[in-house]
């Protein structure tokens, strides 16, 4: 365990230079197109100084602020999923005349992320248990996750849509990072950053940075900021017996109510850090080469439930129920973890303002309600 250190903005700049010198493609949060998005960054001047986000069901606003804080916002629309599970990837090719199948080795350069959130780290861990391990582990995920360098910045300003405290994933970070930063604000100067290494690579990087040894007062300031953030968490979910609650309420009439609002647009699955549905398509080029390509898909899409002659989830109700029940119930059976990390993105980016925390509370309130007539499904 390395001793914690307090660095300033010059330390952040040095960290970005150090990561670039090591050959990382370094991504960080930037204010772009009215949102916090992930883009290549080379200096702290690229980071969203003074910006705050304002989130609500179906609503996101990025507002310029007054201060010099760089991380005084919650989460943008992009989870880290795309870095390790790309939206489009060629899996294998087969060339004539043998048509021997050749797996395509992933050659993406190593990526460093400066400014990941604790719920983002948790999302990567959930994805790792889902697609990154076992006999059919995804080699792209494994390659990219293995070479990634992650600098997490703990959350000190949660959005109204966040519920990471309920899911045990934030606002502090306990593991899964190379370096952990906590932005400490000052009344009369720029913020400083309490930094702690979580891996040998993080320790080497931290050793290069200018700064001073952390004092007990710095750790106290961190604990206070995290406690304040936890107390300002916008939403909560009662997770008591949640997998069982969902599993025994497949016929609850609440699913009909939410289906009347759901547009089956797939936004909730696209922004979710753990959703991993995919389609596979084979195409043949003019030279006869066959390529198998994997693209992101969504369980809210009718076509994604199509098997041997027809869709198995023909109604929006059945597809929304599949998404929610998988996240909070069957994921435990399959992967031994929740499929939700409480980032709140599916609430903010739902054009119909559907709020999964509200849906779960409504199911709990109507636990065991008389079933409605089901559409025929296998
Ligand atoms: S819940 Fe919202 S985001 Fe998800 S498919 Fe329905 S309308 Fe789209
Ligand atoms: S289900 Fe919603 S709140 Fe949970 S991890 Fe996915 S996007 Fe975030």
Alpha carbon of 239 to ligand 2 centroid (Å): 14
Residue whose Cα lies nearest atom 5 of ligand 1: it is 264
Q: How far apart are CA 132 and CA 111, in angstroms?
A: 17
Alpha carbon of 207 to ligand 1 centroid (Å): 46
Which ligand number lies closest to the CA of residue 258? 1
User: Does ligand 1 have an atom closer than 6 angstroms to the CB of 354?
Assistant: yes
Residues having CB within 6 Å of any atom of ligand 2: 271-274, 327, 340-346, 356
Q: How far apart are CA 128 and CA 144, in angstroms?
A: 11
Alpha carbon of 268 to ligand 1 centroid (Å): 6
Mutate to test the pocket of ligand 1, among 59, 258, 265, 269 (most ligand atoms within 8 A of CB): 265
Contact 111, 25 (CB under 8 A): yes
Nearest-atom number in ligand 2 for the CA of 167 is 4
Residue whose Cα lies nearest atom 8 of ligand 1: it is 265
Nearest-atom number in ligand 1 for the CA of 261 is 7
Alpha helix stretches (DSSP H) within the chain: 9-21, 81-84, 118-131, 139-147, 164-167, 200-207, 216-231, 242-247, 254-261, 267-271, 316-325, 331-335, 345-348, 356-365
Q: Would you list the DSSP string of 23-68?
A: T-EEEEEEEETTEEEEEE-SSGGGS-TTEEEEEETTEEEEEE-SS-
Alpha carbon of 163 to ligand 2 centroid (Å): 9
Nearest-atom number in ligand 1 for the CA of 264 is 5
Q: How far apart are CA 366 and CA 249, in angstroms?
A: 9
Per-residue pLDDT tens, the chain, 378 aa: give them.
458 999 999 999 999 999 999 999 999 999 999 999 999 999 999 999 999 999 999 999 999 977 899 999 999 999 999 999 999 999 999 999 999 999 999 999 999 999 999 999 999 999 999 999 999 999 999 999 999 999 999 999 999 999 999 999 999 999 999 999 999 998 888 999 999 999 999 999 999 999 999 999 999 999 999 999 999 998 999 999 999 999 999 999 999 999 999 999 999 999 999 999 999 999 999 999 999 999 999 999 999 999 988 999 999 999 999 999 999 999 999 999 999 999 999 999 999 999 999 999 999 999 999 876 655 454
Q: How far apart are CA 327 and CA 352, in angstroms?
A: 20
Alpha carbon of 139 to ligand 1 centroid (Å): 30
Gyration radius of the chain's alpha carbons: 22
Report pTM.
0.95
């Amino acid at each position: 365990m390395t001793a914690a250190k307090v660095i300033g903005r010059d330390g952040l700049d040095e960290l970005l230079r150090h990561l670039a010198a090591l050959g990382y493609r370094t991504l960080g949060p930037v204010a772009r197109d009215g949102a916090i998005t992930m883009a290549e960054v080379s200096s702290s001047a690229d980071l969203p100084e003074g910006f705050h986000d304002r989130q609500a069901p179906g609503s996101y606003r990025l507002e310029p602020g007054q201060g010099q804080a760089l991380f005084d916002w919650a989460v943008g629309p992009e989870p880290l999923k795309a870095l390790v599970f790309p939206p489009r990837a060629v899996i294998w090719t087969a060339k004539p005349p043998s048509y021997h199948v050749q797996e395509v080795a992933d050659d993406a350069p190593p990526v460093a992320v400066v400014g990941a959130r604790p719920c983002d780290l948790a999302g990567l861990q959930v994805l790792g248990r889902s697609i990154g391990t076992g006999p059919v582990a995804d080699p792209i995920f494994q390659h990219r996750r293995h070479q990634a360098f992650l600098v997490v910045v703990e959350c000190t300003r949660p959005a109204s849509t966040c519920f990471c405290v309920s899911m045990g994933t934030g606002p502090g970070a306990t593991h899964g990072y190379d370096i952990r930063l906590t932005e400490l604000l000052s009344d009369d100067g720029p913020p400083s950053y309490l930094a702690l290494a979580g891996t040998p690579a993080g320790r080497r990087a931290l050793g290069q940075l200018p700064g001073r040894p952390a004092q007990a007062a710095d750790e106290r300031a961190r604990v206070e900021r995290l406690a304040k953030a936890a107390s300002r968490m916008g939403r909560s979910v009662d997770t008591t017996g949640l997998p069982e609650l969902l599993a025994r309420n497949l016929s609850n009439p609440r699913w009909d109510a939410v289906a009347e609002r759901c547009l089956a647009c797939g936004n909730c699955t696209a922004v979710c850090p753990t959703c991993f549905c995919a389609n596979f398509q084979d195409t043949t080029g003019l030279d006869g080469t066959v390529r198998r390509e994997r693209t992101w898909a969504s369980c809210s899409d009718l076509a994604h439930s199509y098997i041997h002659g027809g869709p198995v989830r023909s109604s929006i109700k059945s597809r929304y129920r599949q998404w929610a029940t998988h996240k909070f119930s069957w994921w435990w059976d399959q992967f031994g973890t929740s499929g939700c990390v409480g980032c709140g993105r599916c609430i903010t980016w739902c054009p119909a303002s559907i709020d999964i925390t509200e849906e779960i509370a409504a199911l709990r309130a109507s636990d065991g309600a008389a079933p409605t007539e089901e559409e025929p499904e296998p």
